[in-house]
Amino acid sequence: MKQYTSIPVRLDTLIQSSDGESTHMNSDIREQLISVIDEAGDDPKIAETWYNLGGTLYDRGHIQEAETAFREALNLDETLVGAWRDLGAALFIQNRHDEAEEALKGALVHTDDDADVWYNLGCVYNVMDRSEDAVIAFRRASELNPDDSDTWCNLGVVLSALGEMDEAEIVLKKSVEIRPDHFVGWLNLITHYNRQGRMKEADEAHKSALEFIPDFDEFMEDLQESIDEAQEREA
């Protein structure tokens, strides 16, 4: 998922929790963040102060604190598209996918032409197994930012899952044409061919990947090790 703020970040929304304990926790976090803002000499009454702080916290892995900061930014300025988008990212990382969707839709209330909002929304729909909606979101993102290889790659993966093999192949090829050193793009194109039993095309794509990414096979081994370790932990 993508996320950007003026200080490092990418994907988020403003939806208050109905859980009393969580609300109390967020209140404590808010007070701590106000202290941080005061110490920095910034103004807590300005939305961008909270937004920038949220970006810094998100980048450092303090996701709950970032969520609180983005919400405060939106309480001060509900038209701040970046805060909606980045709140969506923070919620997505916490596996709160329904809330992430609502946050990203909050951004769309104020603009329909932010490619990263649509990209992030596509990612949310993908993990929610709403493939048709994911296709719509990724298509819109590709229209707004046709040079983003990640968007084309993800669109290709979802189209392939839906059985739209011809279009998926076109889109996956476009992804690696835009960015020839895109490991995930090549991996998905090779997988696309293998799933159809098209071993010759898969081998040719593998050779092309090695031309641009000499360590492609090593990356593959590392990826497989990570997958195996994750499966062992879940077993």
Question: Does residue 106 sit in the same domain as residue 218?
Answer: no
- Look at residues 233, 228, 10, 216 and name the one whose alpha carbon lies nearest to residue 123: 10
pTM for the predicted model, two decimal places: 0.84
In the predicted model, is pLDDT for residue 4 greater than 80? no
pLDDT tier at 224, thresholds 50, 70, 90: confident
Tens of pLDDT, residue by residue over 202-214, are 999 999 999 999 9
Question: Does residue 174 sit in the same domain as residue 229?
Answer: yes
pLDDT reported for residue 1: 61
Domain boundary residue among 82, 109, 133?
A: 133
Domain boundary residue among 100, 133, 166?
A: 133
pLDDT reported for residue 202: 96
Domain CATH code at residue 154? 1.25.40.10
- Looking at per-residue pLDDT, the higher value among 98 and 16 belongs to 98
Question: Does residue 10 sit in the same domain as residue 53?
Answer: yes
Question: Does residue 106 sit in the same domain as residue 182?
Answer: no
Question: Does residue 55 sit in the same domain as residue 150?
Answer: no
Q: Give the range of the structural domain holding residue 12, as residue numbers without chain letter.
A: 1-133
Question: Does residue 67 sit in the same domain as residue 96?
Answer: yes
Does the residue 157 lie in any domain? Answer: yes
Question: Does residue 129 sit in the same domain as residue 208?
Answer: no
Which residues have a Cβ under 8 Å from the Cβ of 53 and sit 6 or more positions away?
7, 33, 36, 37, 42, 69
Question: Does residue 103 sit in the same domain as residue 164?
Answer: no
Does the residue 140 lie in any domain? Answer: no
In the predicted model, is pLDDT for residue 189 greater than 80? yes
Question: Does residue 119 sit in the same domain as residue 160?
Answer: no
Does the residue 182 lie in any domain? Answer: yes
pLDDT reported for residue 25: 54
Does the residue 46 lie in any domain? Answer: yes
Other CB atoms within 10 Å distance of the CB of residue 170: 13
Question: Does residue 112 sit in the same domain as residue 171?
Answer: no
Question: Does residue 165 sit in the same domain as residue 129?
Answer: no
Question: Does residue 8 sit in the same domain as residue 104?
Answer: yes
Does the residue 141 lie in any domain? Answer: no
83-92 average pLDDT score? 96
In the predicted model, is pLDDT for residue 2 greater than 90? no
Count structural domains, the chain. 2
Give the whole-angstrom CA distance, residue 80 versus residue 91.
17
Tell me how many degrees the CA angle 203-204-205 measures, rounded to the nearest 5. Answer: 90
